[in-house]
Amino acid sequence: MAFAAPKETYSGKVYEVTIGTEKTAVFGGENVLPFHSFEGTTPNKPVIAYEIQDVSPDDWPETVKNVYAGVSGDPVKWAKYCQDELKADAIALRLTGTHPDRNNRSPEEAAKTVKDVLSAVNIPLIILGSNHTEKDSSVLVMASEAAKGRNCIIGKAQEANYKTIAAAAMANNHKLIAMSELDINLSKQLNILITQMGFDKEKLITDPMCSALGYGLEYTYSVMERIRLAALSQNDATMQPPMVGDVGMYVWKIKETQAAEAELPQWGSLEERGIAWEVATAGALLISGIELLIMRHPKAVDAVRKFISEIS
């Protein structure tokens, strides 16, 4: 029996998204499953954005906090460090300090931070709220305005607050992350609701909600695979925006990235364990369909970049 390679051709294609102005980053555009370059086109590699915050990352574990010790007190310094020293392709600025339980910073303060960061760097910026749905809708509106003309990504619009956030992203010509909670139908529905407002579906980025390895990763993994299959084999336009994985945030809060080796000798070195946790979470999600990653540890980012080059 001679072997005839069972290659698949799909009717659908993932939208290609470009972010930034001076220096840009491009992702998506493929018409096959992730890294299946042997049967279709995969014009762009996935992009990794370094996560920074508007407040110092007191709640990050030592392993990753120490990396940014000299710069993390100031988002502008932090951003420049990522751009100049770490050669980041993009930055994700999380406005953690606006959360009512954190520093409860005002939308105006957030907008100023955004402006300051944008004037210091020329790589693309992703602007994230604090994930407080109510507060985000005021914070992200002002942040969108502050970033007008810079072709950023604004996130995250959720079922409870998408209207104001999508309107602001649209008015200021940004891309938008639509996040729903680990359910393909919810994700599809939110994309539909947002495009019904007149938002261009080719400017959307889907966040089906991330989870860390060992903590529900299998759900994110399978929802992403199903979204990608719907986009490609059913040519379902509502599922064709590229996907983002907010990996660092989920990984660096679990016990496996924090517990000392002395406490749990069977788990081995804490430093490597934490990095590898971020690496493997990102790796598995890349294979299931992510085009844009948000990560924290430079060594994890480097390893994932090398892997992307090897598999592309």
* Residues at the site binding ligand B12, with contacts judged by CB under 6 A: 181-183, 186, 211, 215-216, 219
The entry of ligand B12, another protein, none that residue 186 binds, CB within 5 to 8 Å by partner kind? ligand B12
Question: By C-beta, is 35 or 164 nearer to another protein?
Answer: 35
Rule CB under 8 A: which residues touch another protein? 1-3, 5-8, 35-38, 213-218, 221-222, 225-226, 229, 255-256, 258, 265-270, 272-273, 275-277, 279-280, 283-284, 287-288, 299-300, 302-304, 306-307, 310-312
Strands 25-28 and 16-19: antiparallel
Question: By C-beta, is 36 or 80 nearer to another protein?
Answer: 36
The entry of ligand B12, another protein, none that residue 238 binds, CB within 5 to 8 Å by partner kind? none
9 to each of 6, 13, 266, how far by Cα in Å? 10, 10, 46
**In angstroms, what is the minimal distance from the CB of 113 to another protein?**
28
The Cα 208–Cα 275 span in angstroms is 23
Question: By C-beta, is 205 or 210 nearer to ligand B12?
Answer: 210
The entry of ligand B12, another protein, none that residue 303 binds, CB within 5 to 8 Å by partner kind? another protein
The entry of another protein, ligand B12, none that residue 300 binds, CB within 5 to 8 Å by partner kind? another protein
Q: Which two tokens stand for residue 258?
A: 């924090």
**In angstroms, what is the minimal distance from the CB of 288 to ligand B12?**
14
How would DSSP label each residue in 171-209? HTT-EEEEE-SS-HHHHHHHHHHHHHTT--GGGEEEE--
Q: Cβ-closest residue to ligand B12?
A: 216
Amino acid at residue number 89 = D
Question: By C-beta, is 55 or 280 nearer to another protein?
Answer: 280
**In angstroms, what is the minimal distance from the CB of 112 to ligand B12?**
29
End-to-end CA distance of the chain: 31
Question: By C-beta, is 159 or 236 nearer to ligand B12?
Answer: 159
The entry of another protein, ligand B12, none that residue 236 binds, CB within 5 to 8 Å by partner kind? none
Question: By C-beta, is 195 or 211 nearer to ligand B12?
Answer: 211
The entry of another protein, ligand B12, none that residue 183 binds, CB within 5 to 8 Å by partner kind? ligand B12
The entry of another protein, ligand B12, none that residue 268 binds, CB within 5 to 8 Å by partner kind? another protein
Task: Find how far residue 239's CA is from the centre of its chain.
Answer: 17
